[in-house]
Amino acid sequence: MKTIPEIMKLIKQLDTHVADDFEGQDLDFKQWSTRALEDNLNKMIHYSVCLTNGGGGCVVFGVADKVKGYDKTILGVPKNLDLEMLKKTVYAETVPPILPQFEEVRVRYGTGMLLIMTVQPSEYIHSTADGKAVQRSGKECLPLPDEG
């Protein structure tokens, strides 16, 4: 699993690379939705399940993953996020509960702030509260087969 300093080294290369080039089993980049906080919470829940079931990993929120150039790629997240509320929401909406770690990192572009969510691997199969279980496979979150 990548460390925050390793992720920041990758972010420094986004002027000449697209973030998608760096995505993999344990790392994803997601643009922050300015439409509704609920959209971002749903992404956090989905990727918490996906990455936990896939061996753990990180999602960097505030980065567009298909374009080059700091000013187009690093869009940022709001500066007033309630990290405790984000943790509690993911915890409440995953079964068994997943407790992600959130870290805000300062950047020179966009809003000036990115949010990195880290989840640890687990010996259990996790799902969303509504029963959706996905697992990271390379750059994708794939449905787990129904257990029966």
102: in domain: yes
Backbone angles phi, psi at 17, to 5 degrees: -130, 155
Segment 7-66, tens digit of pLDDT:
999 999 999 999 999 999 999 999 999 999 999 999 999 999 999 999 999 999 999 989
Segment 78-115, tens digit of pLDDT:
999 999 999 999 999 999 999 999 999 999 999 999 99
| Gap between the Cα atoms of 88 and 85, Å rounded | 5
146: in domain: no
42: in domain: yes
> Total domain count for the chain?
1
Distance of CA 62 to the CA centre of its chain: 10
68: in domain: yes
**121 — pLDDT class (breaks 50, 70, 90):** very high
CA distances from 112 to 63, 74, 77, 94, 100 (A): 12, 9, 8, 30, 22
| Gap between the Cα atoms of 129 and 97, Å rounded | 9
47: in domain: yes
135: in domain: no
82: in domain: yes
Is residue 70 classed as helix, strand or coil in its secondary structure? helix
Backbone angles phi, psi at 24, to 5 degrees: -170, -160
CATH number at residue 37: 3.30.950.30
**148 — pLDDT class (breaks 50, 70, 90):** very low
Query: Three-state SS across 1-67?
Result: CCCHHHHHHHHCCCCCCCHHHHCECCEEEECCCCCCHHHHHHHHHHHHHHHHHCCCEEEEECECCCC
**147 — pLDDT class (breaks 50, 70, 90):** low
133: in domain: no
Q: Can you give the residue range of the structural domain that contains 59?
A: 4-127
Q: Count Cβ atoms below 10 Å from residue 99 Cβ, excluding itself.
A: 12
